[in-house]
Amino acid sequence: MSNKLEGKIAVVTGGTSGIGLATAKEFTAQGAKVIITGRKKDEVEKIANEIDGIGIVCDQSKLSDIENLVTQVKSQFSSIDILFVNAGIVLFSSIEEATEDHFDRIMDTNFKGSFFTLSKFIPLIAEGGAITLLSSINATTGQSNSAIYSASKAALLALVKVGSTELVKKGIRINAVCPGPISTNLLAPAGLDNATVQKFASETLNKIPMKRFGKPEEVAKLVAFLSSEDAAFITGSEYVIDGGTNVNPIIG
């Protein structure tokens, strides 16, 4: 394993499972000191011990938690080099049936939480630092029953564009990663029974040209690349990693 992130300080939100956990492990393997966040204290402590990192309890939907996270990180490190804003939730509803609570739960975590995590951390990010926001191919597709989730992820792409112009003056890069179908437990909190999840997975698999789901570790390697000096000339970009799902050929 290369040590391209040797000596770097990295923060990964939502780092106790899925893409966040895989990325925390990849950052660690490449030499970074990693701070992970999560909402459950026992899980945060367990993973932090496993990766020899630091764990801080934080609910990204709460601004007070974000401010506390930044304060704790600042108290231990003078600055950080890498920020991966990964924490997010997915819930499904048609446009017609969506409630205000459904809207707020998704937007408070996926957009408002991501926005203020980025905003509050900017003063701590060293020159030459790198930020990655986890968006989704849903940001640009029309999957039914995902209007609010898709909008939350599309908002992050707009944030990356604006952020790239503002942060370049500080010597900081910012990009978005847009995964397609990845083998994670993201659907677990969506309120779907196991049969529905399996049906969804089967239907999704048929739409992936590569005929498999992506692995969290594959996304992690992309995030690690964008966080390294190998990506020094990349900012304001969106990287799709979906096994060709977004191609949707009419024939063949």
Q: Please give the Cα distance from 70 to 81 (Å, whole number).
A: 14
3-class state of residue 60 by DSSP: coil
Sheet hosting strand 80-85, strand order edge to edge: 54-57, 33-38, 9-12, 80-85, 125-134, 173-179, 238-241
Local confidence band at 193 (pLDDT 50, 70, 90 cut-offs): low
For the ranges 31-45, 131-145, 178-192, 235-249, the lowest mean pLDDT is seen at 178-192
Q: Please give the Cα distance from 204 to 180 (Å, whole number).
A: 10
Cα dihedral: 121, 137, 245, 102 (round 10):
120
The answer to pTM > 0.75 is: yes
What pLDDT, on a 0 to 100 scale, did the predictor assign at position 70?
A: 98
What pLDDT, on a 0 to 100 scale, did the predictor assign at position 135?
A: 98
Domains recognised in the chain with CATH numbers: 9-186+216-241 (3.40.50.720)
What sign for the dihedral angle of Cα 13, 15, 19, 21?
A: positive
- Cβ–Cβ under 8 Å, residues 23 and 223: yes
Which is more confident, 139 or 247?
139
DSSP 235: -
Report H helices in the chain. Answer: 18-29, 41-50, 63-76, 100-107, 114-121, 147-167, 194-205, 216-226
β 33-38/80-85 pair status: unpaired
Per-position DSSP letters for 7-27, written without gaps between them: T-EEEETTTTSHHHHHHHHHH
Which is more confident, 41 or 196?
41
Which is more confident, 195 or 176?
176
* Residue (of 111, 229, 226) closest to 175 by Cα position: 226
Q: Please give the Cα distance from 206 to 197 (Å, whole number).
A: 15
* Residue (of 51, 172, 176) closest to 114 by Cα position: 176
pLDDT in tens, 98-118: 999 999 999 999 999 999 999
Cα dihedral: 46, 182, 108, 157 (round 10):
130
What pLDDT, on a 0 to 100 scale, did the predictor assign at position 18?
A: 95
What mean pLDDT is reported for the chain?
A: 93
- Cβ–Cβ under 8 Å, residues 60 and 117: yes
pLDDT in tens, 10-39: 999 999 999 999 999 999 999 999 999 999
Cα dihedral: 231, 236, 241, 245 (round 10):
-150
Q: Please give the Cα distance from 181 to 244 (Å, whole number).
A: 10
pLDDT in tens, 44-76: 999 999 999 999 999 999 999 999 999 999 999
At residue 249, does pLDDT exceed 80? no
At residue 128, does pLDDT exceed 90? yes
What pLDDT, on a 0 to 100 scale, did the predictor assign at position 236?
A: 98
Residue 239 known to be catalytic: no
What pLDDT, on a 0 to 100 scale, did the predictor assign at position 183?
A: 86
* Set 27, 84, 115, 149: catalytic member: 149
